[in-house]
């Protein structure tokens, strides 16, 4: 994952079926941009050699660094992964080995969706819901608070992130207000399963 904010692979209006354009613009240009800037500031202050250490490696040693680096490093990584996980032309479900693995570990794709939705709905306060591959090559669903993620050594949930869902209120409040479940149900319609499958194949 790059240390700098990357261009969105779609326009702010392209995901209107689930996320309104104003939310997308504010989320990307204000919230996510601030994480990228603050991460750069923290790396400079803490003398992080960003040319020779990957962001993933840095996050795996989060406990050694400041809260500013933890919060903004996680915030930047999480949002970059989130943007790439969305598309206006979703296939609605994966195919091939990933689908078979989901069915093996969760019983069915619908059961997986229910469990992932519940992880997002029940995350207290702000945070993320995740699908990860753990060290035993098992698919696991869980959530993390704030901008923590499963790469961090401080996280109870550990693994390689395949799919992450932002359940901070700024991700959905303009359209959905306090109805987080409605946001999550709509979000399933814009998941980019091609990207998720590529992450799975590389994990």
pLDDT, tens only, 157-187: 999 999 999 999 999 999 999 999 999 999 9
199-to-67, 148, 162, 203 alpha-carbon distances in Å: 28, 19, 6, 6
Q: Is residue 138 part of a domain?
A: yes
pLDDT tens figures, 87-101: 999 999 999 999 999
pLDDT-above-70 percentage for the chain: 100
**CATH code of 27's domain:** 3.55.40.20
Total structural domains in the chain? 1
Q: Is residue 10 part of a domain?
A: no
Q: Which residue has the tokens 């700098």?
A: 4
Q: Is residue 3 part of a domain?
A: no
Q: Is residue 6 part of a domain?
A: no
60 SS3 class:
coil
Q: Is residue 2 part of a domain?
A: no
Q: Is residue 174 part of a domain?
A: yes
Residue 178 has a pLDDT of 96
- pLDDT band of residue 119 (cuts 50, 70, 90) is very high
As a residue count, the chain comes to 203
Q: Is residue 5 part of a domain?
A: no
pLDDT tens figures, 17-65: 999 999 999 999 999 999 999 999 999 999 999 999 999 999 999 999 9
Contact 103, 109 (CB under 8 A): yes
């Amino acid at each position: 994952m790059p240390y700098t904010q990357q261009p969105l692979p779609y326009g702010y209006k392209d995901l209107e079926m689930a996320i309104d354009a104003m939310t997308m613009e504010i989320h990307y240009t204000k919230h996510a941009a601030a994480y990228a800037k603050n991460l750069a500031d923290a790396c400079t202050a803490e003398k992080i050699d960003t040319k020779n250490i990957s962001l993933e490696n840095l996050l795996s040693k989060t406990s050694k660094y400041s809260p500013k680096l933890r919060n903004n490093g996680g915030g930047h990584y999480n949002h970059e992964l989130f943007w790439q996980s969305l598309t206006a032309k979703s296939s609605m479900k994966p195919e091939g080995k990933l689908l078979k693995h989901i069915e093996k570990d969760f019983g069915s794709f619908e059961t997986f969706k229910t469990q992932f939705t519940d992880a997002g709905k029940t995350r207290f306060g702000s945070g993320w819901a995740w699908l990860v591959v753990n060290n035993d090559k098992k698919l696991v669903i869980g959530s993390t608070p704030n901008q923590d993620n499963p790469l961090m050594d401080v996280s109870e949930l550990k693994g390689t992130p395949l799919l992450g869902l932002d359940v901070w209120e700024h991700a959905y409040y303009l359209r959905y207000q306090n109805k987080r479940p409605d946001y999550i149900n709509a979000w399933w319609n814009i998941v980019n399963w091609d990207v998720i499958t590529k992450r799975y194949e590389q994990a």
